[in-house]
A and B are shown apart, each in its own frame.
Chain A
């Protein structure tokens, strides 16, 4: 495993061309997460529509991993219902705890499976997790999800 294989083409593409980046008009919950060891920042906003579908806004600054992760997450989870979003978040967390050995489910995680190689680098796991932590916190703040709910 060398560093080039950690930076999957999907990750680089999302880093260079972030999808759906920007804030939304009427967020019901918002979370700003910072990685205090390196200064990466991500803000995630959420709103649920009447049909119970999730809409996301985000912005941030930081390394390729944190910013690509936000873009991949936003693209993936847009329109998800709460249970699907939570399943994806749980799957992503599990993948990042795998030390890179996981075979993540692409049906659940979509492009986010590209981050499995990041899990081999402990210092970068927090970067990849940052937007997902913001998503969870924003959902709690919006009232859509209870604190500690898994």
Chain B
């Protein structure tokens, strides 16, 4: 625990978050127990069950979920964890998003957030304990009412039953249970007794997502609310010099045009007049140095840097000497572009700012960070600001912004207008809006010995740090190395006696952010395509070669074997088809993918992706399958089509016609196979994304003999 506690304090300091605000217990009326937040060791934290569980007299059970639902199924999986121990009637369980309060903080990071594929892993014990605490109190309440010993009572399916046959429903017991002191000893079930965990369970949020009733941030309408769009500069870091809104103000429905730190805001009675007026604005910008940026220029700079030694992220043996002595060597350079997250729901934020309070409705992954930022902008205390977390129409990391861009801007707008506002981004605003997956250039030199095994590996990584300059810097950056830049590269699972991984972190105006799988989105690509090159250099089968080098990691081997077996690796394919494989660990989970591809009119066509995953104990197997299916599509969109490029500082893409996600007709068959495991649960939202690009690239090599070393693959014409 001490290590985590030190990190927590470091984080608090770095985040500028008031430590006192986080360690003060959170008191809820009707609960005598207090939450001892943040600094206490996890096993001693008591969570007042009614912060998470509300039981109505009609037996409806409402669970307040402290993670944002952005498609990953967390409302269902966390509800399953609570109810495994709560033993309520699952058909009566509903979920709501929790408000912002310290009791809802992440169990590892001392803030309320959803990210890093950590929700189930970090809530695994906490949520079950919350459910068990409430169940114990309900049983105690029943025992008290019947004046019988508690061990003669049993709770199941929302009813407490005495051995005599007497029954009381949870709804009947809730009030009495609420008056009791929560127990300090809360034993949890033996996993062999699990009823919900491990069984495919339908998502609780599906019914409202098929009839249009699900409420996303964009769907929030308040009385007297204005809709606002902001004209932001054409170049990152640019500032408004002057603007002329004469024509814009003439558009019927336009109520105000004014400057905010990010640009010029247009407020109107609805989106259409606001957008129409914005198109009529004349804005002169001071572009600053961002106007000089171009992808070509960055590529030259990065490629030069990749040839020079950088900060050492990992080193053992002497890779430089070993390369000189190696029997055979291979070297390659890789390039991957900036990527926009492009969630289907464009960013938006609704704010109702009053004199001494503020309510915000938005789909955010970062409640605490956004609340602190919002409060600061309008001069309120953070406790005076409440965030209602709506459904997120996709997140992928974009809605977890350490600098609270879309919430902060909406606060500036609200401060000016003094009436409820909805700030909306268009798709163009989203694609132009920055906070991209960084552009990366990698170079690798590797050598094999006479037995074909790798003897040397020298990898140099060039790309912007995501966390430098944010509150996460103190947490993620050590000795100049941002852990998110080198994850998946500095911690190779393969046995290589001489290894050096270097990092350059150039700084410039393009804002960057975590994008589904973060650093792994490029490191898996370069590492796994290079491993494939080495297998071919050694004249060995790519699966067998990896298995041999992964002797120290049976879980890597397990998924690799399973994916290969299920795909039919080694069996002949029809002419014009080939397999490629990749295996990668991220967010503590292991995923291997085998891709089956062909070439169609010079372009890669992916027919089938067979995934094997080991994410520890599985809470909702169908939820795991959904996430792998999703991660494959997200990764393929980037691998085949995705790129954000700059010219004279201007982003050259604007909407889905030139930043195309994978479409229906391009969808491969995705098969998901889960390795049975009793290990603690690990991440599932992201780990399926990293292996797909290298698996496809390796399949293309097997088919054509051509190595794909840059994304998107569309830019390379294949034969």
**Does A pair with B?**
no
